């Protein structure tokens, strides 16, 4: 048996061993399939953007989880830029993480820009007014959001645990296969490499009276290989590689490219990720760096990343047509 087959078997076993929320899962899959079919009919490009972290439950009826740092800014901002590039966007995000457009209000309190009209304060009417001077960008953001929604180009699907994430990634990938090379994967979610299989989890809450807690975490199978070789083999795939040590970043990115055989790795260092990334392909390494002035004006590096990925996808798609 080839190493690839072994990997793919491990992925199948993972699905056999792990249960996920079947009701929500079925609803989500049918929404994804309908979305993809609609875009296929119009020969539109569609990108799957994954975003946010994953929760690793420690108990079967879970009270505690292992989490990570990702807040979902990369994914949410990128989804907006893909929409403005004309793509249909399936936004697969961790519940509670940032979302396209509403992310702009996450740092403040939206209630601060709303006012109850003077003549409504006796409760006889229900009109609110918006003080846009307190948030000058509000109109443009609402307009962009409504355009995306009304044109049917944005589908948001949430997940919570690692298992939910992987199940939805598989279902989306299989649906997107219909689009061939018009489909893009932009995998920005920070997915845990480790988890506890259900058979190893205690049924009830772990008791602190049992003394120090020792956990054995298992490795999550490498789903990317299944995605690239089996679930959606004609798509353009861009993944992210996160490290904290610059010395190993590029080697790890190149290692991922040769292991999975996909098109692009976007390499980033944790504390530089808002202003610097390196686009790594088999042929080149290209640094994208926001200038100091752009950083001061809080410009998004995602605009530049998405522009670069769209150009590469366009070339890839044209190359597959001949």
Q: How far is the CB of 98 from ligand 9Z3 (least distance, A)?
A: 8
Q: Given the complex with ligand 9Z3, which of 35 and 236 has the nearer CB atom?
A: 236
User: Least Å distance between CB 172 and ligand 9Z3?
Assistant: 15
Largest interatomic CA distance in the chain:
76
The whole-angstrom separation of Cα 82 and Cα 102 is 16
Give dist(CA 22, CA 12) in Å, integer. 17
Which of 190, 280 has the CB closer to ligand 9Z3? 190
Q: What's the CA gap between 315 and 322, in Å, rounded?
A: 12
The least CB distance from residue 173 to ligand 9Z3, in Å, is: 14
Residues 6+ apart with CB under 8 A from 82: 47, 49, 89, 184, 186, 306, 310
Q: Which residues bind ligand 9Z3 (CB under 6 A)?
A: 70-74, 187-188, 190-191, 239-242, 268, 273
User: Measured from the CB atom, is 35 or 240 closer to ligand 9Z3?
Assistant: 240
CB closer to ligand 9Z3, 39 vs 306: 306
Least distance between ligand 9Z3 and beta carbon 270 (Å): 7
CB-wise, 115 or 308, nearer to ligand 9Z3? 308
d(CA 262, CA 5): 18
The CA distance from 104 to 98, in Å, is 9
Closest approach of ligand 9Z3 to the CB of residue 168, in Å: 15
Residue (11 or 190) nearer to ligand 9Z3, CB: 190
The distance of closest approach from Cβ of residue 5 to ligand 9Z3 in the complex, given in angstroms and rounded to an integer, is 22
């Amino acid at each position: 048996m080839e190493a690839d087959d072994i990997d793919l078997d491990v992925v199948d076993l993972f699905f056999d061993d792990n249960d996920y929320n079947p009701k929500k899962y079925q609803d989500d899959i049918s929404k994804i399939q309908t979305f993809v079919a609609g875009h296929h009919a119009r020969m539109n490009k569609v990108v799957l953007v994954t975003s946010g972290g994953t929760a690793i439950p420690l108990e079967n009826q879970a009270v505690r989880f292992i989490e990570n740092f990702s807040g979902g800014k990369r994914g949410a901002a990128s989804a907006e830029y893909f929409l403005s590039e004309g793509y249909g966007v399936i936004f697969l995000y961790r519940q509670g993480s940032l979302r396209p457009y509403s992310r702009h209000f996450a740092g403040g309190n939206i209630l601060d820009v709303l006012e109850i009209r003077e003549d409504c304060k006796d409760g006889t009417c229900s009109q609110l007014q918006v003080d846009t001077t307190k948030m000058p960008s509000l109109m443009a953001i609402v307009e962009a959001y409504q355009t995306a929604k009304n044109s049917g180009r944005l589908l948001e699907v949430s997940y919570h645990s690692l298992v939910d994430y992987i199940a939805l990634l598989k279902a989306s990938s299989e649906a997107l296969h219909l689009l061939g090379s018009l489909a893009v994967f932009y995998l920005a979610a920070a997915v845990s490499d480790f988890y506890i299989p259900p058979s190893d989890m205690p049924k009830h809450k772990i008791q602190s009276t049992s003394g120090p807690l020792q956990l054995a975490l298992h490795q999550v199978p490498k789903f990317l290989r299944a995605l690239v070789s089996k679930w959606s083999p004609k798509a353009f795939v861009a993944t992210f590689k996160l490290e904290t040590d610059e010395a190993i970043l590029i080697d790890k990115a190149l290692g991922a490219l040769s292991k999975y055989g996909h098109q692009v790795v976007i390499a980033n260092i944790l504390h530089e990720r808002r202003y610097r990334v390196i686009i790594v392909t088999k042929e080149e390494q290209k640094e994208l760096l926001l200038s100091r002035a752009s950083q001061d004006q809080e410009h998004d590096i995602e605009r530049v990343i998405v522009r670069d990925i769209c150009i590469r996808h366009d070339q890839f798609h044209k190359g597959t047509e001949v």
